[in-house]
Amino acid sequence: MYKLIAIDMDGTLLKDDKTISKENFDAIQRARKNNVKVVLATGRPVKGIEKYLKELNLIGEDEYAVTFNGAVVQTTTGNHIMAKTLMTLEDLHYLYNLSKELKVNIHAHTTEECITPKSSKYSVLEAELNSIPLTEIDFDNLNENTTIVKVMFIDDEKTLDRVIKALPKDIYEKYTIMRSMPYFLEFLNKNANKGTGVKLLSEKLGIKQNEIICAGDADNDKHMLKYAGLGVAMGNASDNIKEIANFTTKTNEEDGIAYVIDKFIFNKDI
């Protein structure tokens, strides 16, 4: 029996208009009543998913979220951090210098805000998407106690295509690197990813690996799909994610999460 389902947000739980369908909402509530722990696993900070947590009734000291692509695992109220895998200022300065060399925009997340040496429409979008402050600040003069959760190269799709090809080969040994959207390239601590986040949470909750479902659609979901007892790709997922998955469900526009819950948690013949 599955006891935990970790669900990605954009392109998975959310429809293209960023809403949760009634079918997905109802299925999640049925799973919760059946003592299945429902966890949102996202690249966003907890502030960026707060309205969805409230909508799904997932606010509480015994409710959890995997945020910042697994760098932070926390309760959904009280902001009690159960596990964190952060970056250093040295990482930020290295990536900042690289961004100048590659001529690409950059910003970083602290636990409270998005910071950037030069604001762009992509940083504005990130701040608005996550309901967090955006602060323009010189990265060379940051307070030494600044907490860096993740760093992002942010630019138009063609620019990021070029930048990815030009990245130093050894950079993949230093960081977890993922393209979460066409215009977002994320750098995290080498040990941080959604799979690690789900693993840390499940161990604290005493839930076995084979009792976990993870569902997603994009590159930043691959680690948790590999870790899960049942890794689920959305019908709209990229081909490499479908290859990793144990099962491909319907698309995010076709209530794919509800389909998974009904089929694998309630064993409905659908």
What residues act catalytically?
A: 8
User: How far is 116 from 136, CA to CA, in rounded Å?
Assistant: 5
User: How far is 248 from 231, CA to CA, in rounded Å?
Assistant: 9
Which single residue is written with the structure tokens 């680690």?
223
The half-sphere exposure of 118 on its side-chain side, counting CA atoms within 13 A, is 10
Closest to 216 in 3D by CA, of 228, 205, 231 = 231
Count other C-beta atoms under 10 Å from residue 32's C-beta: 16
User: How far is 28 from 80, CA to CA, in rounded Å?
Assistant: 24
